[in-house]
Amino acid sequence: MLTVDQLSYSRNNRVLFKQVTFQLLPSQVLHIIGDNGSGKTTLLQILTGLRIPLTGKVMWKGIPIDKKNSNFTENLLYINHHLGMKASLTPIENLYLFLVRRNVVHTQPKKEVINGIYQILEQLNLKDCSENILARLSMGQQRRLSLAKLLLIQADCWILDEPFTSLDNVGIAFMLSLMEKQSIRGGSIVFTSHLANFSLSLEIKKIFLGSNNHVKT
Amino acid sequence: MLKRNFFLKLVVNLNCELFAIFRCYQELLYPLLFSILAIVLFPLSISIDPVLLKKIAAGIFWIIVLFLILLMLDQLFRNDWKEGDLEQLILLPKELTMALFIKLLVFWLFISLSLIVVTPILSLSLFIPVSALKTLYLSILLGTPSLVFLGGIARALTLGLRNSGLLIVLIILPFYIPVLIFASSAVSLASVGLPANGPLAWLSVLMVLSVSLSPLLINRILRLGIAFV
């Protein structure tokens, strides 16, 4: 459960947003809408704890995230316009490293884990390039690969920055189905996108970050 | 159970970093080539007088090594930052310190191994006597880790800036001076046949301190969020 209390932030002497307050219950989806430069990415960075807000606080299950809140970091999946992986490694190597860092791999042999990764890559239609290094993959393939993280581990809080960019129609449909599954599972999602309407069978909360420094909910 | 997991993480992290650096080492070769050339050209441009060179060789060698590492530091964490790998690590505070340690270790391995390979040729061109070669190697092995691990702190402080090169040099140079003094005095003592245990011991003290503490410090710096301004 993500609670955001009176968040504000300014950059270059310009107020990006003032007193953003909302609460996100399990299974809820929040869509942040705004023009370019309105502070969508900044807001997401604050929600993850990467950026420190000017005022206000972000809480996960009632505990502020800036303290050593390991429950939050273990349940957070943040995907943004960066790769979030190493460009000089192959998808298999990257995802194995990801799983090890996330404490998912314990005693099972490496082969078993790699097989699991293969299956997910097949689901994402990336099996052919599983041995190529990431720098050689196309933009869309890289974006698709970042979806593999959402499939590999179960996290209760997804924070997705423009998850639909560079995806084809099949990819967008797949992403939407993933979001539906996450919501049914009881996880919460925060995402940004320019698209205003989706064919999602879920109720979506919306926040508008306007260029006139107003925040409407 | 916990220990097993720890070693698994260590091995997988190390593996991935080694693969990453050896698949794109070209970016790191330019400073290396530059410093090798600088050392080789020095005796050519001054004089090939062995007596004169013997006096200044240790100093020249270590100044160039210091410049080499200053030039290389700009590449440290650069790809990790650009690709967003570091960002993901900051969000996993428990994994961050070990990952940083491994990153710095692999970076140091690359620099020191390449230095160790070319050192015999360089010492020959600077007329450093063969009897001092052992001390020269020891000073590289004990001195460069401090330079790399301390440099990591400056790199972490300037990570979000567009032109960080100059600032890194200004921040870190004062901390490099002790290493420079001890390392070059060890080599010059050895090249006149005196024991160099004192300066080498001090170098190892600096190494132990910087290698053990700087990953923790970099962890704190990165988690402060100053890179996102």
Residue B58 lies in a domain: yes
- Classify residue B205: in a domain, yes or no: yes
Residues comprising chain A, all counted: 217
Which residue in A49, A70, A86 is closest to B83 by CB distance? A86
Chain A environment of B9 (Cβ under 8 Å)? 100-101
Instruction: Tell me whether residue B203 is in a domain.
Output: yes
> Which pLDDT score, from 0 to 100, does residue A216 have?
47
Rounded Cα gap, residues A165 and A81, in angstroms: 9
Domain boundaries, chain A: 2-216
Q: Which domain holds residue B21?
A: 2-224
Identify whether B26 is part of a domain. yes
Total domains in chain B come to 1
A3-16 residue pLDDT tens: 888 888 888 888 88
Cβ-Cβ contacts under 8 Å, A51 against chain B: 225, 228
Q: Which of B174, B178, B155, B156 minimizes the C-alpha distance to B165?
A: B155
Mean pLDDT of chain B: 90
Return the CATH number of the domain spanning residue range A2-216: 3.40.50.300
A52 touches chain B (CB under 8 A): yes
Instruction: Show residues of chain B in contact with A83, CB under 8 Å.
Output: 83-85
CA atoms within 13 A on the CB side of A122: 6
Give one DSSP letter per residue of B166-187, joined into a string. Answer: HHHHHHHHHHHHHHHHHHHHHH
Residues of A (53-92) whose Cβ lies below 8 Å from B: 68, 70, 73, 76, 78, 80, 82-89
Domain-located, residue B229: no
Tokens 């690709």, residue located: B83
Which structure tokens are listed for A195?
């698209």
How far, in whole angstroms, is CA A133 from its chain's centroid?
A: 23
In a domain, B33, yes or no: yes
Q: Is residue B108 part of a domain?
A: yes
Binary contact (A82, B83; C-beta < 8 A): yes
Is B20 an 8 Å CB contact of chain A? yes
ipTM score: 0.88
pLDDT tens track, chain B, 229 positions: 566 788 888 999 999 999 999 888 888 888 999 999 999 898 888 877 888 888 888 999 999 999 999 999 988 988 888 888 999 999 888 889 999 999 999 999 999 999 999 999 998 888 888 888 999 999 999 999 999 999 999 999 998 888 888 889 999 999 999 999 999 999 999 988 898 899 999 999 999 999 999 999 999 999 887 777 6
Residues from chain A contacting residue B89 (CB–CB below 8 Å)? 101
